[in-house]
Chain A
Amino acid sequence: MIRSTHLPLVVTILTFLAAFVLCSGQYPAMMSTRVVANLLTDNAFLGIVAVGMTFVILSGGIDLSVGSVIAFTGVFLAVILRDTSIHPLAAFALVLAMTIAFGAAMGAIIHYLDMPAFIVTLAGMFLARGLAYVLSTDSVPITHEFYDVLQSLYWKAPGGGRFRLTGMVMLATFIIGMVVAHRTRFGQNVYALGGGAQTARLMGVPLASTTIGIYALSGGLAGLAGIVFSLYTSAGYSLATVGVELDAIAAVVIGGTLLSGGSGFVAGTFFGILIMGLIQTYIVFDGTLSSWWTKIVIGGLLFAFILLQKGLTWATTARRKPLIDFAAP
């Protein structure tokens, strides 16, 4: 018996499998480990940032700053590796500490000043992007032997697919994210907060530390995504990853998480990422479709999944439905 709360997740997984079978029916070459490995590598940074976004959205908030934080991280790493002799690992630790602090500061403003997450993270988006500009407006290449070492780490699967380190980092992030969301007190607090801040407070959920923790987590994961992105491109560019926050939100929604918070799964986001990656792979394979179809198809998918969620909510609450329905805030 599938519980209704699991149904969006099941539908997402089925959609992915159906789409994959359809695509590989048309282009048998898609059924190779190469395509699967590239799917993981190309979407690694998006996946990592989407895990953080899942937590934020589960709590009923939103984080618009992640794309800018990724760009800032990339530029910061490139500049610090160019200008100082610091080891990349130390630079990673430094930048992660900065992005976590940045996220925590946004969470603190949201909680203590009682301001909407939308506006606070919007200001954060401007700030992070602006700091990236201040560091450098040009694309700064990263040439450090340690980067070459990290980039050459991969496991070659039969069929020629190369499962690179960055893809593995994304998978690990998803697994840790699932454990944290479903098996820890912090995860339960996040769900409770998404169900209703007032109720959560009455139940004894520490609102301040949970809110700050959520945005610190999202900021930290955006920093990690920035590190992965800099490994992927070997450069830092302040104009990179514009609009990634929207892709991440779309992946979370396609993954079956309610944007109003309180309901959803980290695993769903993983399949949301894979579906979006699959659309792009299909367009590359097709060769005649233009890249703007990606946006239209993702928009259409978003719409379909929102309708599905709406239908499910309506079906499961029909018996308790009040005489007058009204729009959710």
Chain B
Amino acid sequence: MTHGLQATLRRVAPQLMILAAVLLLNVIVFPDFFRIEFQNGRLFGNLVDVFNRGAPTALLCIGMTLVIATRGIDLSVGAVMAIAGATAASLVADGSGWVTALLGALAVGVLCGLWNGVLVAVLRIQPIVATLVLMVAGRGIAQLITEGTILTFVNPGLIHLGAGTVLGVPTPILIWIGLGALITLGVRRTALGMLVEAIGINESSSRLAGINSRVLLICVYLVTGFCAALAGVIVAADIKGADANNAGLWLELDAILAVVIGGNSLLGGRFSIVASLIGALIIQSVNSVILLSGLPPEFNLVIKALIIIAILVIQSPTVKHALYILRASAESAGVDTPAASASAPLAKSTETAR
């Protein structure tokens, strides 16, 4: 158990360092960043906001990590969010309770996942193309459900999912942490995680080894659809309305970015959901630092792009390899700096992942 925890910590160390650096930037531009207050039965504070606002991306990247681990990708999650939000809103508008609306939205999300999964696993279409279909058509379907308007609702149960609190903690935070923990345990306490990695590394040999890759692939896309639907309901509940055009727009890209920042290879194989979740927090902290710094909002995207490019360059295989060579030559010369030995496991894990 402690060994497993140590391995996880070692795996997410670079992500934690980046997160710490970005949070430090936050503190520099806004000294009260870490202050958390308890008012009106709810936690308030910038750190709470980072966790709360990061919920949709965090939820998406749970499923996206699994899909990317199978060497796939799911471009349709943003569109699925819009469909799920529209479904929940229209169910509530028709007089259903919030439980029915939530279950209906989740069912629709799972159905979307099933569609993607069948295209990828049974019809053998490349994932990027297969999910592009739903990405393009999905917003049209969502608009069909909302009939082109922004469906607003006042159901307190549904709104509670996006804007409410449980014991003072905003509900979205509990949902993403809960689902993340559940799925991490689900894949790591069983052999499922290893089987998913096996598919990502080499599908035909994993199948020869007796893995039912077809069913497993479909299941992975189902999970992604489920996560996307949950994120869609939260986003809709947060603004008390379903916006078919803008709900989850470009969030698929943020989710993929979170997975990549989490150090997971887009070529499949070993994955870490925890690292992806930290990646999602990093993205949200970057957003927060730009907001808090008081720079003109026009600069948001440029700064975000530059920070992302910097993180990606640091993590790129070529740079990692160069660092590895540099360190190896330093070690052979008998110079073992503490910095080199601290980050050595990172290089090792990269080598095995490649």
Contact = CB atoms under 8 A, between A and B. Distances in A.
Interface stretch (B55-63, B134-142, B177-185, B187-195): B134-142
A69 to B, nearest CB: 13
B339 interface: no
A325 B120 CA distance: 12
Contact of A137 (B298, B302, B318): B298
Interface in A281-306: 290, 292-296, 298-300, 302-303, 306
Interface in B264-309: 266-268, 297-306, 308-309
A21 B81 CA distance: 38
Q: Is the interface of B mostly helix, strand, loop or mixed?
A: helix
A190 B297 CA distance: 40
Given A126-B301, A126-B308, A324 B256 contact: no
A299 B140 contact: yes
Count chain B CB atoms within 10 A of each CB in A120, A127, A290 and give the residue with the most: A127
B130 to A, nearest CB: 7
- Chain A interface size, as a band, is 35 or more
- Chain B interface size, as a band, is 35 or more
B133 A303 contact: yes
Interface stretch (B121-129, B164-172, B330-338): B121-129
A249 B256 CA distance: 19
Interface stretch (A7-15, A109-117, A176-184): A109-117
A308 to B, nearest CB: 11
A250 to B, nearest CB: 6
A328 B124 contact: yes
A130 B140 contact: no
Given A116-B266, A127-B301, A298 B136 contact: yes
B132 interface: yes
A134 to B, nearest CB: 5
Contacts of B302: 126-127, 130-131, 133-134
Contacts of A310: 123-125
22 contacts: A64-B253, A112-B318, A113-B317, A115-B317, A122-B257, A130-B299, A130-B301, A133-B302, A246-B136, A290-B148, A292-B148, A294-B140, A295-B136, A295-B139, A299-B133, A299-B136, A299-B137, A299-B140, A306-B129, A306-B133, A326-B124, A329-B268
